[in-house]
Amino acid sequence: MAEVACALGQPVATVEVLATFASATATVARLRVRFADGSQRVAIGKRATGAEAAAARRERRFFERLAPCWDHPAPKLLGVSDDAVSVLLLTEDLEAQGYRAVGTAVSEPEFHGAIDALVGLHARFWDALPLEVLEAGGSPEPSVTQAVQAWPPTVIAANAIAVREASERFAVGLEAGERALLADVLAAWAPRFVERTAAGRGMTLIHADFHCFGNVLFVPGAPRPRVIDWSEIKPGLGPHDLAYCLMGLPCVDRARRDDALMRRYWEGLCAAGIRDYSWPLCQWDHRFSVLTNLFQAVFQGSEVWFRKTAAAVDALDACAALAEPPPL
């Protein structure tokens, strides 16, 4: 209760936990806060301690220093309590406004709304990476999405080591062809990523955990989403966010669907004033991002998601991004 009062900056009479939510890096709950004057409000509380506090502090920096830079879809930050032991973030309760995760039931208008939200984020920070904000307080702690998109080159090198170590353990449960795919990607992804990002151009801030199963929320009939969980925001290739979103959404013709939605994304960037980012380079970035999604499954220890991703790699001919240099 004291942490909540500190975060909100006013005396609190009671705090009631209404619901709890799954999270890998924090304790997340819906809270009813009653104040000394008899008023009350419902908020989402995210509390992290120890090593997990690094993710909460990244998210705090997002809310305080990055979110005000554009018409963002994130919830409002209501307050923060941050000491040497723990971090508590309080944000508005989007569910009270009718927002829900739609999972695999995402409609075409909702797809388009999600793409438009990504265009807004990516165009705002395109070739304008606020590294002084992202690196405040030291380099970010490693996370399960860190190796998927990592920059600058020193971070790519560190994550190459991390993903190799994780892959040695993970590959034991894979079939021979799957191990061969993983080995090929491990051998080539870091040099290709260094080559792609050497000039530090054609990059932006990515959400890095953009999915419709819990982080991209919609109100029925209103395609513009709200987006939560900004703790993994980092420099990366813009198409990664859309590729990651599409990964868990099945369809009959993945290549056709992904190409059409990626085209909408690219045209949105062009309409927002992004120049010198060709359609072939956007396609290459998409394939490369699909490939590196294999590492997400590796870090999570999920053979199921590895096989789902491997199927997407095959359907999209994503390995071409390893065989061909980026069309810079």
Query: What is the reported pLDDT for 196?
Result: 95
Q: What is the DSSP letter of 322?
A: H
Q: What is the pLDDT of residue 254?
A: 95
- Gap between the Cα atoms of 69 and 273, Å rounded: 17
CA distance readout (Å), 45 to 96, 102, 199: 14, 22, 40
Tell me: do 181 and 191 sit in the same domain: yes
Strand, coil or helix: 44: strand
Based on the domain organization, do 61 and 14 belong to the same domain?
yes
Q: Is the pLDDT of residue 143 over 70?
A: no
In a shared domain, residues 159 and 280: yes
Please report the pLDDT score of residue 146 as a whole number: 54
The range of the structural domain enclosing residue 83 comes to: 2-96
- CATH number for the domain that contains residue 168: 3.90.1200
pLDDT (0 to 100) of residue 226: 97
Strands 27-35 and 222-227: unpaired
**Pair 261, 244 in one domain:** yes
What is the pLDDT averaged over residues 304-318?
96
DSSP per-residue codes, 120-176: HHHHHHTT---HHHHTTTSSPPP-TTTTTS--SHHHHHHHHHHHHHHHHHHGGGS-H
Confidence of residue 248 (pLDDT cuts 50, 70, 90): confident
Name the more confident of 141 and 131.
131
Residues 147 and 275 in one domain: yes
The predicted-structure confidence for 51-78, as pLDDT tens digits, reads as follows 889 889 989 999 999 999 999 999 999 9
- What is the Cα–Cα distance from 13 to 36, expressed in whole angstroms? 5
Q: What is the pTM assigned to this prediction? A: 0.94
Tell me the β-bridge partners of 68.
Answer: none
Q: Are residues 256 and 229 in the same domain?
A: yes
103 and 72 inside one domain: no
145 has a pLDDT exceeding 70: no
Q: 208 by DSSP, 3-state: which? A: coil
Classify residue 328: in a domain, yes or no.
Answer: no
What is the distance between the alpha carbons of residues 253 and 301, in angstroms, rounded to a whole number? 27
Render pLDDT for 71-125 as a digit per residue (tens, 0 to 9). Answer: 999 999 999 999 988 999 999 999 999 999 999 999 999 999 999 999 999 999 9
107 and 85 part of one domain? no
Considering the domain architecture, whether residues 74 and 127 belong to the same structural domain is answered as no
- Report how far residue 251's alpha carbon sits from residue 257's, in angstroms, rounded to the nearest whole number: 8
Number of neighbours of residue 65 by Cβ within 10 angstroms: 14
Sign of the CA dihedral 117, 122, 124, 125?
A: positive
- Residue 203 near residue 115, CB atoms below 8 Å: no
Summary mean pLDDT of the chain: 91
What's the average model confidence in pLDDT over 18-26? Answer: 87
Helix 303-315 crosses helix 254-271 at what angle (to 10 degrees)? 80
The answer to whether residues 197 and 87 touch, using CB atoms and an 8 Å cutoff, is no
- 82 with 135, same domain: the answer is no
